Amino acid sequence: MAQPPLPSVGLRYLAGRSFSIDPRTPSIFILPTAHGWNFVRSAAPASVPARTAGEGGREAAAGSAQQNGSWNVRKLETLAEAVPLLAATDEFVLGLPVSAVLAQRFRLPSVDPAEFAEMIRIQIEKLLPFSADEVTTDFELIEQSDSESVVSAVAIRNEQLAEIASPLLERGYIPRQITVYAAQRATTHAPSGNAVLIYPEGETLVYAVTENGKLSLARVFEGGNGDQLQIELPQLRLSAELQGIDAGSPNVLLDETCYGMRDTVQGILSSPTEIVGIELPPAPVKLNLLPESWRRRRLQLTRQAEWRKRLLWIGGGYVGLVLLLLTYLSILRFEIGLFDRRIAHDAPGTEFVRATDARWKALAPAIDAHYYPVEILLHLFESLPSADVRITGYNQSARQISVDGEANTAALVYQFIEKVKKNPDLRAFQFDMAAPRILPNDHAQFRLEGKAK
């Protein structure tokens, strides 16, 4: 039978009855089987179409992983064996066996989905001897007319659910979705029309009637051999018809492990029987029996894991930065060491030059003409901007000079100092001048001081 493709996004169902889009498609399914559980994990991004394994994909040996396309199937005897295969951030779906749930078809006198939850809760309370708080329920719409709706409702006692999932819960692994495997199989193999699905779960045989891919009625047979089928199947067919399910000519889907019953089933139900294999992966279903408290806890754990991851990244980045800085510091230290060795290596060669340089500078007033008074006076006179600037006094020690003078205007004084500073032959000195003093006749008196550089 043709399988519907997985949507590119998964659906997150919140306990009751509204849902939001989850961008991540689950990549792990834990499903009940005849031998215990199947652990189905995507070996590639989970946006692959749903499909059924061929013959070659049905032979996964217990305890061994089998690669089938992009999905691995691992057979587990108990759910506890799934614990080491999971990681804290894994998104997984837990399929429940039919024996753990109550599946019931209701015909509701309303077409308003907002009213369904309350109506179903009342109906379930009538059927089960537990309060609503002790039970988790969910439903799927099978069909709807102008005045009424037919829904498939599934309920499970919270205590029983906790007992089944206890190996996972003890390690903090909470599924993203808890559904019924029969519903998953129905959606996968018979998304439209009516079908009868027969497959083994543990030591029991499941007989599930589905409508439009939704679970309408399910029964479990202990043992389930040919003789028992002869008795039970007609009765269940009758029960289905009594509930208003058209069981006249259903599409019969028989699990490949029950191949030996094919002729018997065909004989009893008078319908052609199709053999189906394990779903890789099962088609997504809306049905979600995840209790609200689990959902909150899961959200909390997910947030904790995300924060742990973020802190790990931040810590890693910080340590990386510190290591980078320390590496840079080591490089600088190494460079300093390298420079020190080169300086020490070249030092004897430069020591003589340094000493001679110091000696030359010390003797400069005697051997460098730039320090001779006659040279300095010559260049000072060259720097006079006009005859209106007159030098009236000159003092010099070995490394310092001062020039007293007078100019007709202050502007001429500043022209003089500028020219002195720019004179290349006076560069051995650094000149400075205080503000000139203005005389009563408007002449400016100045003192120029120069220090050897």
* Interaction site with another protein (CB under 8 A): 318, 322, 325-326, 328-329, 332-333, 335-336, 339-340, 342-343, 346-347, 349-350, 352-360, 362-363, 365-369, 371-374, 377, 392-398
Q: 3-class SS at 321?
A: helix
For residue 70, which amino acid is it? S
In the complex with another protein, which residue's Cβ is closer, 107 or 354? 354
Please, are residues 142 and 71 in contact by the beta-carbon 8 Å criterion?
no
In the complex with another protein, which residue's Cβ is closer, 225 or 395? 395
Residue in the block written with tokens 């790990």: 312
The token duo for 179 is 């559904």
For residue 21, which amino acid is it? I
For every residue of 12-65, DSSP letters joined together read: EEETTTEEEEESSPP-EEEEE-SSSEEEEEESS-S-SPP-B--GGGG-PPBT-E
In the complex with another protein, which residue's Cβ is closer, 346 or 388? 346
In the complex with another protein, which residue's Cβ is closer, 262 or 370? 370
Q: To which H or E segment does residue 368 belong? A: none
In the complex with another protein, which residue's Cβ is closer, 9 or 319? 319
In the complex with another protein, which residue's Cβ is closer, 130 or 372? 372
Please, are residues 71 and 6 in contact by the beta-carbon 8 Å criterion?
no
301-307 — which CB contacts under 8 Å span 24+ positions?
Answer: 301/88, 301/172, 301/174, 302/89, 305/88, 305/89
Q: 3-class SS at 403?
A: strand
Distance CA 293, CA 302 (A): 14
SS (H, E, C) 324-364: HHHHHHHHHHHHHHHHHHHHHHHHHHHHHHHHHHHHHHHCH
**To the nearest whole angstrom, how small is the minimum distance from the Cβ of residue 246 to another protein?**
55
**To the nearest whole angstrom, how small is the minimum distance from the Cβ of residue 393 to another protein?**
5
In the complex with another protein, which residue's Cβ is closer, 130 or 394? 394
**To the nearest whole angstrom, how small is the minimum distance from the Cβ of residue 436 to another protein?**
19
**To the nearest whole angstrom, how small is the minimum distance from the Cβ of residue 369 to another protein?**
7
**To the nearest whole angstrom, how small is the minimum distance from the Cβ of residue 335 to another protein?**
6
**To the nearest whole angstrom, how small is the minimum distance from the Cβ of residue 266 to another protein?**
56
Distance CA 272, CA 257 (A): 17
In the complex with another protein, which residue's Cβ is closer, 372 or 414? 372
**To the nearest whole angstrom, how small is the minimum distance from the Cβ of residue 391 to another protein?**
9
**To the nearest whole angstrom, how small is the minimum distance from the Cβ of residue 387 to another protein?**
15
